[in-house]
Amino acid sequence: MMNEEKVIIFQLKDEEYAVPVQHVKSIERMQPITRIPRTVSFVKGVINLRGVVTPIIDLRSRFEIEEVSHTDTTRIIIVSVGTIEAGLIVDAANDVIDLDKESIEPPPEVVGGVDAEYIQGVAKIEKRLLILLDLVKVLNPEKLDVQPTKESIH
């Protein structure tokens, strides 16, 4: 039993990804997002999550997969890692399963175009290939350091 981990499975383009359930606070439907000016493109803005202002990241954009318009199945997965809390826009959130830790293999060089950097490992369950995300790296705020593109007045 100790070797099993509950994971939430979501879809991004044609691939299925997994994040440990203890990092997931909730799954929300798509809602209006307030844009934040002059930040990196994958940060779509912030939403009001029951009184808490929560930043929203478009995972497609984060992994440099082409963006699509949001559909009925589009979900925001609210995750929290350490003190950081953020929402991830995914194409669909499908399933919760128990994953045998022994079935997790180290990541191959390239999986579905996502940099191996963000991947903790892959797991094969029956015919499905699950990509386990390394949320700490995905949510690394250092990636946010962008220079202001325009100078304000002097």
Phi, psi at 138, each rounded to 5°: -60, -35
Q: How far apart are CA 61 and CA 2, in angstroms?
A: 35
CB 105 within 8 A of CB 120: no
Tokens of 59: 């995972």
Scanning 3-11, 12-20, 35-43, 129-137 for contacts with other proteins by CB under 8 A, the matching segment is 35-43
Q: Which residue from 104, 112, 135 is spatially nearest to 20, judged by alpha carbons?
A: 135
Q: Does 111 bind other proteins (CB under 8 A)?
A: no
Among 3, 48, 98, 101, the residue binding other proteins under the rule CB under 8 A is 48
Beta carbon nearer to other proteins, 38 or 127: 38
Among 30, 46, 92, 111, the residue binding other proteins under the rule CB under 8 A is 46
CB 57 within 8 A of CB 39: no
Q: Does 39 bind other proteins (CB under 8 A)?
A: yes
**Partners of residue 26 on adjacent β-strands:** 78
Q: Which of residues 126-145 bind other proteins (CB under 8 A)?
A: 139, 141, 144-145
Shortest reach from residue 147's CB to other proteins, in Å: 9
Tokens of 146: 């962008």
CB 68 within 8 A of CB 23: no
Per-residue contact flags (x/-) with other proteins for residues 65 to 84, judged by CB under 8 A? -----------------xxx
Among 1, 2, 14, 38, the residue binding other proteins under the rule CB under 8 A is 38
Tokens of 65: 């997969």
Q: Does 86 bind other proteins (CB under 8 A)?
A: yes
Residues in contact with other proteins by CB under 8 A are 32, 34-39, 43, 45-48, 50-55, 82-86, 139, 141, 144-145, 148-150, 152-154
